[in-house]
Amino acid sequence: METDSKYKKLVKNSAVFFIGNLGSKVITFLIVPFYTYFLTTEEYGTADLVTTTVNLLVPFAMMGMNEAVLRFTVSKEVDTKAIASNSMLVVLIGWAVCWLLSPLFHAFSVIGGNIVYFLLLLCLTSFNFVFMQLLRGIGKSKAFAANGVVITFATAISNVLALAVFHLGIGGYLASMVIAQLVGAVHIVITCRLWRLLSPRYVDKRALKGMLTYCIPLIPNSLMWWIMSASDRYVILFFIGAGANGIYNVAQKIPSIVNIVYNIFMQAWQISAIEERDSEDNAKFQSTVFRYIFVVLAIASSLIAASAYPVYTFLMSSAYEGSWQPVAMLSLANLFSCIAAFFGTTYVVTKESKKAFSTTAIGAVINIALTLVFVPPFGIMGAAGATAISYAVIAIVRARDTRKFVKLDFHKGEIVASFVLIGAQVVLSFLPFTPAVLAMEFALFAAVLIILRKGFIDIVRMGTKVVKNRK
């Protein structure tokens, strides 16, 4: 019964996060075609570089404190008021540093004309990243999930007004991002009643030292993940141009659905992994969860790869017609990325943040090298290939490293066969589109379903059992 409760709690938390995120993720997906009609490829590519740079700098602006907030709150090692006040102190210092560095940011051509939007977005995003984790850590799962919905609806409404009604272009797009983050921050303050948790007298220097010791090594780790996910855009910009970067960004949108769904699950999984770290059947628990997650992710990745051409040609503007071709490769890359992130949870549980950095750094170095080699001759397909290879390396290294801490039982036959089939789909994506190629893509998808049918049936059975035993 105790074992069943672990899965029940994981499923319950995942369901809460999924329901809370569903609306926001659907809107995020649906609004991409809207952007393609109101922004040129160059405008969208430039705006994407601004937001990508914000994502690069956020871990530095908040000193990686979001990671420490979750880890120390869930484990109840430090009082909640001390965690909140310590975190706010770090966030305020980060804000001050960001504004002092504004002349440096202004020197970059992409940011220079949008410096105010850039700084506001950077500061508000860092605040939200930190205190959303506080909501999650203290058990306010519904409020945590709702915050994502609030931000997304605010983004969608302000985007429609800025682009479709007032035709403000890139400035309007970035202003809508700032407004959305501001609305999200207000939601957090009210929901968390943050004013009750913040006070200079709650600052605990000893706890702050422990939190920083844990999270500071994760800052370069975040940088390495950014390199993995975003550095190819700058290489594409340098060798091909902003237009190609816009097309590549659109190509990533549907494959990233796999990451979006997985990240929702990870919000629940990290909590369960920390809480169950000392249980006797932890290895069995993690092995079972990994198998089920792999089955779902592999099937989803294969389906996206198979349906890339019809979906992209139907949804996107003709200016983005070439965006379908890298989708299969990007789906494979995202699958490897999710596996690497799953094994990365081990470092969160064991507080081995330095190992999290070292494994990511290996992949980042490989990613940069291969992107520089592959993009000039192969264009955006080369960038996608470099990303897939580097994520694969991280996944393999982390899988081996994780077994030093937890003796996981892998279903190697299913995993290898699935990757071979999805790899075949990637090979087909290099060919010019024909109905025969489309038929072969879906035949390979059917083969993936057959290979993983047992695991899929087990998932359905366990889900049914959890629902029936619901109290």
The pLDDT value given to residue 370: 95
Give the side-chain half-sphere CA count within 13 A for 455: 25
Query: How far is residue 240's CA from residue 400's CA, in Å, rounded to a whole number?
Result: 38
The pLDDT value given to residue 408: 81
Per residue, the 3-state secondary structure of the chain, as one string, reads CHHHHHHHHHHHHHHHHHHHHHHHHHHHHHHHHHHHHHCCHHHHHHHHHHHHHHHHHHHHHCCCHHHHHHHHHHCCCCCHHHHHHHHHHHHHHHHHHHHHCHHHHHCCHHHHCCHHHHHHHHHHHHHHHHHHHHHHHCCCHHHHHHHHHHHHHHHHHHHHHHHHHCCCHHHHHHHHHHHHHHHHHHHHHHHHCHHHCCCHHHCCHHHHHHHHHHHCCHHHHHHHHHHHHHHHHHHHHHHCCHHHHHHHHHHHHCCHHHHHHHHHHHHHHHHHHHHCCCCCCHHHHHHHHHHHHHHHHHHHHHHHHHCHHHHHHHHCCHHHHHHHCCHHHHHHHHHHHHHHHHHHHHHHHHCCHHHHHHHHHHHHHHHHHHHHHHHHHHCHHHHHHHHHHHHHHHHHHHHHHHCCCCCCCCCHHHHHHHHHHHHHHHHHHCCCCCHHHHHHHHHHHHHHHHHCHHHHHHHHHHHHHHHHCCC
> Are 78 and 211 a contacting pair, CB within 8 Å?
yes
- 369 — pLDDT class (breaks 50, 70, 90): very high
Average pLDDT value for the chain: 86
- 46 — pLDDT class (breaks 50, 70, 90): confident
Q: What is the pLDDT of residues 83-127, one digit of tens each?
A: 999 999 999 999 999 999 999 988 887 787 889 999 999 999 999
> Are 177 and 64 a contacting pair, CB within 8 Å?
no
* 331 vs 48 pLDDT, higher one: 331
Whole-prediction pTM value?
A: 0.75
* 185 vs 410 pLDDT, higher one: 185
For residue 182, pLDDT beyond 80 = yes
* 109 vs 63 pLDDT, higher one: 63
Instruction: State the average pLDDT over residues 216-223.
Output: 81
Query: How far is residue 136's CA from residue 303's CA, in Å, rounded to a whole number?
Result: 32
Q: For tokens 């999290």, what's the residue?
A: 356
- 466 — pLDDT class (breaks 50, 70, 90): low
Instruction: State the average pLDDT over residues 191-219.
Output: 90
> Are 110 and 50 a contacting pair, CB within 8 Å?
yes
Other beta carbons less than 10 A from residue 452's beta carbon: 24
Helix axes 41-61, 242-253, angle to 10 degrees: 70
Q: What is the pLDDT of residues 1-33, one digit of tens each?
A: 355 677 777 887 787 777 666 666 666 667 777
- 339 — pLDDT class (breaks 50, 70, 90): very high
For residue 229, pLDDT beyond 60 = yes
Q: What is the pLDDT of residues 426-459, one digit of tens each?
A: 999 888 888 999 999 999 999 999 999 998 888 8
Instruction: State the average pLDDT over residues 326-331.
Output: 92
Cα angle, residue 92 at apex, residues 91 and 95 outer, rounded to 5° = 90
Instruction: State the average pLDDT over residues 258-271.
Output: 83
- Residue 250 makes CB contacts below 8 A (sequence gap 6+) with 32, 36, 44, 316, 320, 323
Q: What is the pLDDT of residues 270-310, one digit of tens each?
A: 888 888 776 777 788 888 889 999 999 999 999 999 998 88
First to last CA, the chain: 13
The pLDDT value given to residue 175: 93
- Extract the tokens encoding 355: 């190992």
